[in-house]
Structure 1
Amino acid sequence: MAKQMNYHTIHQIFSRFQEAEPEPKGELDHTNVYTLVVAVALSAQATDVGVNKATKALFEIADTPQKMLNLGLEGLTEHIKTIGLFRQKAKNVMKMSQILVEEYGGEVPSSRAALESLPGVGRKTANVVLNMWWDIPAQAVDTHIFRFGNRSGVAPGKDVVVVERAIEDNIPAEFQRHAHHWMILHGRYTCKARKPMCGTCLIRDLCEFEDKEYD
C-alpha cells in the first residue's frame, strides 16, 4: 500500500483525468433511476458488459417497479440467468420493487439511508445511484477503485470505508463529482489487477506505485 499522496500531486492527477475525459460516464445501461438501481444491484460480482446484455430486453418490458412485479420472479429470473448469483439477485429485485411500490409510491428515494434499506442495495450501490443520477459526489469504492487508490497513493486504506473516506477527504472538491468514474475507468482499463499498463499510463510520473511496468 502506497503512502498518502500530497494535495498538489492529487490535483495534478485529476486535472489530467479531467482534460482527457471531461464528462466520464458509467458503463451500465439504464433508462431511468429505477433501472439504474436494478442494474447496479445486478452488477455485484458480474461485469457491466454481462449485465447490459441481460438487461437489454428486460428493461424494455420492466422499467418501473410495478412492471417488474407484473413480470414476476420467474420472468425476471429467465432474463438474468446469465448473471452470477442470479437467483438471489432476482429475489432481491422483486422485494425491492415491492417496497418501492408500497412505501415510496413507485419512486426511488434519493437518500443514502433509504436506498441502503432496500433489499440488495448496499452502500456501494447507493453511492453509485446518488452519483450517477442525482450528481451527488458520493464515492462508490469497488475493486478497481480500491486497487487504484492503494497503488497510486491517491486514497490508501485497508478497507473500502477507509478508502471512501480518503477519497472524500483528499481529492479536491472540484473533482469530487466525477472522481468515481475517472478512478473506476482507470482501474478497469489501465491500472489492471494482474498487469497494469504503466507504460501508457496518463499519470505514471505522479503515481506512487513502486512496481511499475513499462513494456
Structure 2
Amino acid sequence: MLLAGLALASGACAQDYKVETFDAAAPAELAPAIRETLGSAALRVIGPQGPLCEMWFRTAVPARATTQQKLGVAYGQFEEGTLFGAVRFLRENRDFRKQLVKPGVFTLRYALNPVDGNHMGVSPIRDFLLLLPAAEDVSPANITREDTIKLSKKSIGLNHPSVWSVTSGEGEHAKMPEVARLEEEDAWVLYFRLPVQPAGGAAAPLAMGLIIFGHAPEA
C-alpha cells in the first residue's frame, strides 16, 4: 500500500530489489482460458538472493465505465474478483500479512480490504491483489468477492487469503517498470503500467504499484 508520509529511498538502496522485462508465454500450470488472456511481456523481480517472482498481466483488464469514489479506494474502476494476471514465485516469500507463500504459480485477482474492526490499521488504502491457486482458478471471468477470498485461502492453506497491497502508481516513476523502497519501512514497491479496458471505452495504460516485499504494521 501507499504508506502515508513515506518517501522513496536513495537509488543506492533501491538496488536491493530490481525488475527486468522478458518475453515468454504464461506458465503452463495456468488454465488455458486464463493463459489466453495474458500477454507475453512479463516482469521478473530480483531480490538480494536472486530472482523472486515472475508476473504476467492481462492484455486488457476489464473495468467499469466510471470510477466509483469510495473512501480509501485507489482503483474504484475495478470490480472485486477481477482477474489481473498471474505470478510465479521462484522462492518462498511472505505476503502483506507475513503469511508464507511457497514457490508456485498463482492467479492475481482484485479485492478490497474490509471496513471492520478486524482490519483497522492494515493500510490506508483498501486495494489489494489476492493470490489464488492456478489449479482451481480456471476462468478469466469475474468471480464474487466471497469466491475470491475462499480460493485465496487455499493458495496458502490458511484461514486468511494471501493479500498483496496495491498502491498508487502516480508520481515520479517515469521509468516504469521499476522497484523503489519506501524509506521509513522495510517495503519495496513494484511500479508498472497495467493495460485497462473500460466498458465502452478505449484501452489505456494505468500506473500502479504493488508491494512485493513488506508487511502491514501490525502483521
Output the TM-score relative to the length of structure 2.
Answer: 0.26
Higher strand share: 2
Higher helix share: 1
Q: Which of the two has higher C-alpha Rg?
A: 1
